[in-house]
Chain A
Amino acid sequence: DAKTTQPTSMDCAEGRAANLPCNHSTISGNEYVYWYRQIHSQGPQYIIHGLKNNETNEMASLIITEDRKSSTLILPHATLRDTAVYYCIVRVRGGADGLTFGKGTHLIIQP
């Protein structure tokens, strides 16, 4: 799986959009970008994934650059409950391997 780089931590004001960047410059053509988050002392939660088109679901939006070397996860209206560590993972869709977690971004939502 390709390696990803994320900022260690970020702050965002409650109610504002939280934009979390991820660099994956060595991504392969058949690899997807997945985002998970882990709230303190809980198991990770799947958020969204995409290949090259922008994706949106009830939790977030995923913007992938045209060259696919980076992406941004957008939480449109951050709440205090969105405080968590966010992991960007690149992998082949449907791969039977476990996930390789980096250090992720610790997003802190400020009241």
Chain B
Amino acid sequence: GAVVSQHPSWVICKSGTSVKIECRSLDFQATTMFWYRQFPKQSLMLMATSNEGSKATYEQGVEKDKFLINHASLTLSTLTVTSAHPEDSSFYICSAFGTSGIRTYNEQFFGPGTRLTVL
């Protein structure tokens, strides 16, 4: 399967600061990337969908001005949590699907996740 990486794997920041999380597709071109959030003992919740070169589409209840998403290339999407607060502490996971050569992936491949702790 295709490989998706995330950086950093964990981050601790002070309340009010901004944090950027990177999601990269390593061996395929990700035409679409997704960002999920997972609170302890809960399932993954979709936050937003991003297509390369266009604005992200956010799920209901997700503040687009707080969670800035940029998908500037076919291999990189970034999620910036602006003015982070303790309630933003969560496990953030990206996923992607796309193409590699002539092969089109119909399944989504997930990154390893980023654990954000806001003090």
A-to-B contact residues, CB < 8 Å: 34, 36, 38, 41-46, 49, 87, 93-94, 96-104
Contact = CB atoms under 8 A, between A and B. Distances in A.
Interface of B: 1, 4, 6, 32, 34, 36, 43-46, 49, 59, 91, 93, 95, 104, 106-113, 115
Given A96-B32, A98-B46, A99-B46, A46 B111 contact: no
Nearest to A85: B43
Contact of B46 (A96, A100, A102, A103): A100
Find the residue from B6, B43, B46 having the highest chain A CB count within 10 A.
B43
Nearest to B49: A98
Given A96-B32, A101-B44, A44 B91 contact: no
B110 A44 contact: yes
A83 to B, nearest CB: 16
Contact of A42 (B34, B46, B113): B113
A104 B38 CA distance: 14
Nearest to A93: B106
A42 B91 CA distance: 9
A90 to B, nearest CB: 13
B49 A96 contact: yes
Contacts of B1: 46
Contacts of B110: 36, 43-46
A99 B108 contact: yes
Given A46-B1, A46-B109, A99 B43 contact: no
A109 B59 CA distance: 35
